[in-house]
Amino acid sequence: MNIVLDTNVLISALIKKSEKRRLIIELEDELFFPSISFKEVHKHKT
């Protein structure tokens, strides 16, 4: 199965340990997200 992640989901999984993070890490399916996600993550990096 292919899964598309929203940038908000990706960022929230990076910020704190959560069920979302666990699912993303353990999932064996392919994950896709918009290329702009990298820019958004970099922009909000602290």
Residue 26 has a pLDDT of 92
Q: How many helices (H) and strands (E) does the chain have?
A: 3, 2
pLDDT of the residue at 40:
83
Which DSSP symbol is given to 11? H
Q: Which residue is listed with tokens 């820019």?
A: 39
User: pLDDT at position 10, please?
Assistant: 85
Neighbours of 10 (CB within 10 A): 19
30-32 and 2-4 strand pairing: parallel
What's the pLDDT at 44? 75
In this prediction, the residues of the chain whose per-residue pLDDT falls under 50 are: none
pLDDT at 24: 87
